[in-house]
Amino acid sequence: MQITRFNFGRFPMRLLVTGGCGFIGANYIRHILETQPEDVIVNLDKLTYAGNPMNLADVEEIHGGSRYFLARGDIGNTELAAHLIESHEIDAVVNFAAETHVDRSIDDASPFIETNIAGTQNLLHTARTYGVKRFVHVSTDEVYGTLGPDGKFSEQTPLAPNSPYSASKAGADMLVRACHETYGYDTVITRCSNNYGPYQFPEKLIPLMISRAMADEPLPVYGDGQNVRDWIFVTDHCRGVDMALRQGASGGVYNFGGAAEKPNIDVVKTILAALGKPESLIKYVTDRPGHDRRYAMDFSLAERELGFTPLYDFERGIKETIAWYLANGEWLAGIESGDYLKFMQKWYGGRV
């Protein structure tokens, strides 16, 4: 099949970013607007519990109507996606839209199947049908499953998801791959390790521990706390996704990591020490079902082909993250007044 390649190095670009009001999406939009001064972004977000338009309130004020446009809607809405693509003459889609929390997927997998699988397929089909030149799908290291004490995930590691969340992301990855193989459509898949940084919803480990420690509440730690994750500061991940968009090979898959493997309990103790709180706040709780023991990313392919390397080590990243949450108590209070508290009470209420 003859494939016409688009020169993604040209500027400006017009991007449809989905899920842009979420944690990583919002940071990505900020990164693009700061580093690509002529790019235009259309943000399609369903604005579920973790999609907070306040994450981009200042962006809306500065760039709204010129370089930034927000559309509320579902990636499963074909008519809306087609309208945005045509009316804004979109060059590329960057798909962050997803249900992402493992505990929620264990509680009910249905929204994960609807958004992560069916929604991605609809968006992918619509983008291809309406002439979008490249589709970047943002995935996760969790599709690879779990590691033993040694080794790292590479792009050739077989997919072996162990939770409903990771299974839904793996399904989406396979649909994107199949679209490239079947139709010759220009797609790129990125997979990253655990993100942290500003604007992260406080159901994830680092913001949850920061918010509870700030309030002198018990810090729930699953199992023995020795589950190991490779932590990447969100700005580094956003840099990697943009490199993949502009330089990645058609049909390519790229891993991004932070070269910062840490047991969860070490992360928790680092946060407590930084906030001057006692380790007696730690409360071990029954382990999560299917809890992967260790993740670690081999991102050497991204180094070779894209020039990617993380700029933040964990010590710098966690310091900046804690400082951001301390300085943005109003944002955190607004989050904690909603659905988040009810869900956390359901999962942890009887154990802490």
Catalytic option among 165, 185, 254, 325: 165
Q: 173 an active-site residue?
A: no
Answer positive or negative: Cα dihedral of 68, 74, 80, 85. Answer: positive
Identify any residues that bridge with 51 across adjacent strands, giving them in sequence order.
Answer: none
Catalytic choice (39, 91, 142, 173):
142
Assess contact for 271 and 312: CB atoms under 8 A.
Answer: no
Integer Cα distance of 318 and 125 in angstroms: 39
Which helix (DSSP H) or strand (DSSP E) does residue 254 occupy?
A: strand 252-256
Residue from 303, 311, 294, 98 nearest 193 by CA: 294
CB atoms within 10 A of CB 23: 24
Active site residue 165: yes
Three-class SS state of 82: helix
* Three-class SS state of 233: strand
- Contact present, 70 and 60 (Cβ < 8 Å): yes
Report d(CA 282, CA 209) in Å as an integer: 9
141 given a catalytic annotation: yes
What type of residue is 107?
D
Task: Please name the residue that has the structure tokens 């842009």.
Answer: 20
Nearest to 40 by CA among 62, 57, 65: 65
| Cα–Cα distance measured from residue 146 to residue 185, given in angstroms and rounded to the nearest whole number | 31
Q: Which residue has the tokens 């007696």?
A: 280
Given 99, 141, 242, 292, the catalytic residue: 141
Helix ranges restricted to H, 52-152: 57-63, 78-87, 102-107, 110-112, 120-129
Burial label, 126 (beta-carbon count in 10 A; 0-12, 13-18, 19+): buried
Catalytic residues: 141-142, 165
